[in-house]
Amino acid sequence: MSFDVVLDSFARTETHIEKVPFDIPYKFQLQSLQRAKRLFLKWLDVYKAYANGYKQELLPRTTRHVIRMLSSFADDLERTVREVLQARIPNEAYILVDEFFNQLGQRPVTFVLGEGTFFEQTSIFRQLSETVAKMHAPRPIRGTATIDIMMRHIETHDVLVIYYAQGQYDNVLSWPLLLHEAFHHLYTSQRLDRLAKDCPDVSWLEEALIDMYIVNYFGPAYALSLATYLQRFPHEKTVTHPSFVARIFIALRYLTEIKKENELPLPLSQHISDVFDYLRDVWSEHKEVDTDKVKDQVEKVYDNAAQGVIDVISEKTQPFSDFMKKNEEKRIATHKAGGFEYVEKQVLSVSDVVEYFQAGIPVAADPRVVFNAFTSRRYQKMAHDPRIRIFIVESLKKWHLKKAWLAAKAVSH
């Protein structure tokens, strides 16, 4: 075996990466994928630098081992490229996450969605760093400076990677779970751990707080997505995650609070009751899994952090319950003003979206309205009905185009 064989393999991988085609309708998504492609090519350049450095050194006893190691790393890179650049992710899922970052982020976030084993978030630089850390050979003397420069370049131009659990990518009712992974990035970049100072010192505190952020931002749709996913793919309590029963309990606490609000529109209140009943049933089936200590810890986390969570969301947008109340007020005012004469003035409620769905007409409604229109038990029974997927995807397209058109119109004036 020789390093020439490895370098030939790298050349084939490079050709594969360069030839990955993109048929993307959205500019921001295309730019993110193109940036990821350039970083994958830089990643490969790092491997080349290692191979060329080792090639020039005397490694009589370890040459075979190093060659096999580099070959396995190339295989891992090929897999990562397929997971990200050739992922079977609906383009519209990008719209959902992009809008979330635009509303709650401090600056634009470059991200890509990948098809992985679990819902998780990482980055291209982090994945490369973790791979390099696994090398069972010292760095080659020649090429070390070059390797450092390339690694710094990748870190500077890094791309966030949010992985979607295989088998769920075309289930639109699980799309809200992507927002949980997206929020990990905001949690770190905006130092939101500052709100946890009075919470119990538990290893899974970040996961619990992020569930609170997302359920307050996205509403019952996230609660239902979380419960349905964890019901089908349960996991036991780990060092970094509370048990799924505890996470459902957080969502139940949120739904209990907004059920008390009498100002919510009636159709939405009914949807919230449906989701609450579903979560309560799931929690009741599994509550014996948790100890009373864990329940008490979750309760303390919620009580100590709930207002801080709402305040952070309110700095940039509206928590879901406030958003829907304001949305209903705008809808009523629009109806009175005859706003349906112009599409850009149209404001839709949950019940409006349901009526359009029954008529087979996609609508340009905010994602938080569209998704929450399908949180009732009635629509959960239709979760695998292709009409729901088509309706939500087409609605997100129309909503995205409407926003782009309004932005362009505002600039022109």
**Per-residue pLDDT reduced to its tens digit, 120-159:** 999 999 999 999 888 777 778 777 888 999 999 999 999 9
- Does the pTM surpass 0.75? The reply is yes
Output the pLDDT for position 238: 47
> What residues does each domain of the chain span?
3-165, 181-316, 321-412
pLDDT for the residue 20: 93
Q: According to the model, what pLDDT value does residue 319 have?
A: 94
What is the average pLDDT across 375-387? 74
Question: Exposed (0-12), middle (13-18) or buried (19+): which is 21, by Cβ within 10 Å?
Answer: exposed
Q: Is the pLDDT of residue 340 over 70?
A: no
Per-residue pLDDT reduced to its tens digit, 74-122:
889 999 999 999 998 889 999 999 999 999 987 789 999 999 888 899 9
